[in-house]
């Protein structure tokens, strides 16, 4: 099967969406398919054409940005050419260009599926309201043209205005989550580098962005320190030069700098997959205090749980599901720092209450499991088209 995958950002850009797309693309290749990724050349240092792990990557030049979106004048021409060459199309939303590409799939009778990753919520402002309106129209047209729309969980799907609008096309497919194994020596080396005193560690693994709820953890941390003064926070992920988030970082950083000076907060930056595999076993708890519906699941929760690490997550549709599915953590009200502090303290005091089955999670969220579901969906649509 020749699979065309289209999304605005792809690797080396780091986000849950790009990691999902990379994992599923690699899984398709392992299963014998030809995969082409059509994306933006958001960074001019990246090549226009590249092969990575058997995946062909085509990047369309970017002439300007609109908030987190990009304008690519040649994307229509490239999409037409590649749609003609491929058997099926997999689109990832949010994506402004998806409407035209899904229409191509409909007109060419190519099975076309949208993977819906999150709702789009831009900050207040007249221009952002206009962008939101344009994207909403584009997403609606995409939903009309595409054959199916996938969601991570029924929980999020039943609460998303977009997914409820297209409930007749909706299919739930578990997202792909995997990590390479880390040796005892690698885990110990990580501890010696970042926590040589063997302190209790609270982890966050995300971009430093408004919707991630970093300030919720900041507000909760003093109450944790009151009982466990040796506690510290390790933050894995991009924290500098995050597009559109500089004002948010500048507002919170004076408080974080104080914690850095005290040795209670450490930015690790973007870690490789092997480094992430060593990061999780060095945590006592992972926090996912997300604030809005741009967050739909949180792959990092499953990654932590695969390493036996409990999680505290916000009571958001989709985001709460890993904890509810496994019992490996606590769900707290959205944005409530006191509840976050209490949940962290409960986990510190009774970690044995939050044990699960990491092997079962690895099987359930294997990229091959996800890829097989998509293959079956493509074949179902192909049969319908005749």
Confidence of residue 143 (pLDDT cuts 50, 70, 90): very high
The domain made up of 184-364 is a member of CATH 3.40.50.2000: yes
3-state secondary structure the chain: CEEEEECCCCCCCCCHHHHHHHHHHHHHHHCCCEEEEEEEECCCCCCCEEEECCEEEEEEECCEEECCEEECCCHHHHHHHHHHHCCEEEEEECCCCHHHHHHHHHHCCCCEEEEECCCCCCCCCHHHHHHHHHHHHHHHHHHHHCCEEEECCHHHHCCCHHHHHCHHHEEECCCCCCCCCCCHHHHHHHHHHHCCCCCCEEEEECCCCHHHCHHHHHHHHHHHHHHCCCCEEEEECCCCCCCCCHHHHHHHHHHHHHHHHCCCEEEEECCCHHHHHHHHHHCCEEEECCCCCCCCCCHHHHHHHHCCCCEEEECCCCCCHHHHHHCCEEEECCCCHHHHHHHHHHHHHCHHHHCCCHHHHHHHCCHHHHHHHHHHHHHHHHHHHC
The per-residue pLDDT for 254 is: 96
CATH code of domain 2-176+366-385: 3.40.50.2000
In the chain, CATH 3.40.50.2000 covers 2-176+366-385, 184-364
Q: Does 10 score more than 70 pLDDT?
A: yes
% pLDDT > 90, the chain: 84
The per-residue pLDDT for 15 is: 82
- Give the residue-averaged pLDDT of 260-278: 95
Q: Does 124 score more than 70 pLDDT?
A: no
Reported as a single tens digit per residue, the pLDDT across 64-112 is 877 677 889 999 999 999 999 999 999 999 888 999 999 999 999 999 9
pTM of the model: 0.86
Instruction: Round the average pLDDT of the chain to a whole number and report it.
Output: 93
The per-residue pLDDT for 61 is: 96
The per-residue pLDDT for 122 is: 62
Reported as a single tens digit per residue, the pLDDT across 357-375 is 988 999 999 999 999 999 9
């Amino acid at each position: 099967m020749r699979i065309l995958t289209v999304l605005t950002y792809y690797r080396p850009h780091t986000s849950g969406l790009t990691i999902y797309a990379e994992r599923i693309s690699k899984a398709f290749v392992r299963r014998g398919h030809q995969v082409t990724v059509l994306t933006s050349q958001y960074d001019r240092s990246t090549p226009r054409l590249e092969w990575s792990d058997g995946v062909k990557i085509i990047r369309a030049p970017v002439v300007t940005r609109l908030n987190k979106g990009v304008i690519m004048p040649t994307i229509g021409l490239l999409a037409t050419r590649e749609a003609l060459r491929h058997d099926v199309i997999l689109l990832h939303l949010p994506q402004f260009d998806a409407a035209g590409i899904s229409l191509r799939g409909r007109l060419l009778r190519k099975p076309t599926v949208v993977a819906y990753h999150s709702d789009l919520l831009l900050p207040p402002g007249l221009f952002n309201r206009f962008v939101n309106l344009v994207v909403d129209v584009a997403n609606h047209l995409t939903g009309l043209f595409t054959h199916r729309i996938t969601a991570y969980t029924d929980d999020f799907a039943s609460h998303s205005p977009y997914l409820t609008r297209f409930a007749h096309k909706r299919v739930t497919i578990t997202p792909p989550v995997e990590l390479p194994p880390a040796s005892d020596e690698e885990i110990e080396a990580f501890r010696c580098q970042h926590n040589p005193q063997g302190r209790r560690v609270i982890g966050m693994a995300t971009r430093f962005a408004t919707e991630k709820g970093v300030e919720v953890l900041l507000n909760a941390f003093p109450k944790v320190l009151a009982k466990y003064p040796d506690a510290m926070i390790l933050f894995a992920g991009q924290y500098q030069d995050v597009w559109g988030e500089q004002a948010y970082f500048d507002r919170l950083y004076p408080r974080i700098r104080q914690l850095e000076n005290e040795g209670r907060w450490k930015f690790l930056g973007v870690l490789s997959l092997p480094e992430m595999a060593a990061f999780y076993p060095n945590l006592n708890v992972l926090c996912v205090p997300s604030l809005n519906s741009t967050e739909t699941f949180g792959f990092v929760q499953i990654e932590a749980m695969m390493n036996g690490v409990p999680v505290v997550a916000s009571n958001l549709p989709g985001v709460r599901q890993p904890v509810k599915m496994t019992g490996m953590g606590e769900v707290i009200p959205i944005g409530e720092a006191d509840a976050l502090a209490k949940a962290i303290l409960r986990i510190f005091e009774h970690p044995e209450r939050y044990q699960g089955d990491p092997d079962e999670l690895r099987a359930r969220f294997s990229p091959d499991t996800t890829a097989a579901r998509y293959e079956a969906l493509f074949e179902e649509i192909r049969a319908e088209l005749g």
